[in-house]
Amino acid sequence: MKGWTGKLRAFALLGFVALVLSACGKENLTALDPKGYGADQSLYLIILTTIIMLFVLAVVMIVYTIVLIRYRKKKGQEDYIPKQVEGNRTLETVWTVIPIILLLIIAVPTVTATFDLADESAASDSLNIDVTGNQYWWHFNYDGQEVQTSQDLYIPVGERVYLNMMSSDVIHSFWVPTIAGKMDVNPENENTMYIEAHEEGVYWGKCAEFCGPSHSLMDFKVIAVSPEEFDQWLNDMQNADPEPEPENAVAQEGQSLFEENNCMSCHAIGSSSASIGPNLTNYGNRSTLAGVEDLNKENLVDWIMDPEALKPGNKMTGQYPEVSENEAGKIAEYLLQLDETDITPESAGNE
């Protein structure tokens, strides 16, 4: 009886953990509710392989149970060893052929999808974006468009967008589960993939390769907007002023502090070349700070004063003299009014 209580407890605990974990995650950060071409393919393969594995499990468990009951040694039974079938050709053939058929059922669509998702034949006529993974943020350079962004990747809905990906430091992995599969981002060679969203919306992305102490904070977003809004966004970004006029006196002081503290040597505004840190063009329109916190003045001041507290191991820590809370507030004021376009994550819908 005691053993049973222990087993029941363990079972209840496992059930509880499963229940709690099933509630984890964010909307638009799931492979199980696909909103893009690559994610559709992944879910189809997940369902197919799960059905086949459940079928195998069911058959094995049924045979196991029948054998357990039927060949159980009965009381007083002497001759309890069942008839031996070693070398039975029919049985050997059956249990070799059935797994081959099952593997073929999995392999054919898997290989087809693999080639399909690697098809780059339309890349030269499409939108290409160079993606750079960095500890712990993402940089996006729109090929031939003179537009660069960080952390928020805007794409037109319903179009294949081709990504050419490299890392500036260690290996990262680009993963936006709701619209596409994963792709490693290496320092030595370029990997490519395409993404295509079916619906407008904001899709959360993650780095899926352990890359340092803040790996789990290396979040970004893909923002899919209508083709018209995308053209508008691109146009607004192309016309972004590299030296934007601050809106008020505090922002003006913030801009001076931004320059005095040498922030510009790492952070570009507009399409200038600095890319040691994230490009800050249109910064005020982002919805998150450093990929993980709500973007507001309070959080931004904390970040400027002590970036290490939020993202351990980031490259901003120690790169500039200490700033007071008052100074950080002014810099924050300046950054938050960098607003180049009406196309924002909120306008894309389900943020």
Chain residues binding Cu ion by CB under 5 A are 172, 207, 211, 218
Give 141 or 173: the residue with its C-beta nearer to Cu ion: 173
Give 172 or 221: the residue with its C-beta nearer to Cu ion: 172
Closest CB 129 distance from Cu ion, rounded Å? 18
CA dist 274 and 276 (Å) reads 6
Give 35 or 182: the residue with its C-beta nearer to Cu ion: 182
Give 216 or 296: the residue with its C-beta nearer to Cu ion: 216
Closest CB 209 distance from Cu ion, rounded Å? 6
Q: Return the amino acid letter for 155.
A: I
219: its two tokens:
């979040």
Report yes or no: 338 and 281 within 8 Å, Cβ to Cβ. yes
Closest CB 304 distance from Cu ion, rounded Å? 23
Q: 3-state DSSP helix/strand/coil percent for the chain, to nearest 5? A: 40, 20, 40
CA dist 264 and 243 (Å) reads 11
Chain centroid offset of residue 106 CA: 25
**Number of helices and strands in the chain (H, E):** 8, 12
Closest CB 172 distance from Cu ion, rounded Å? 3
Closest CB 41 distance from Cu ion, rounded Å? 24
Please, what's the largest Cα pairwise distance for the chain? 99
Report yes or no: 299 and 289 within 8 Å, Cβ to Cβ. yes
Give 153 or 335: the residue with its C-beta nearer to Cu ion: 153
Give 183 or 237: the residue with its C-beta nearer to Cu ion: 183
Closest CB 293 distance from Cu ion, rounded Å? 18
Q: Mention every residue, 6+ apart, whose C-beta is less than 8 A from residue 85.
A: 91
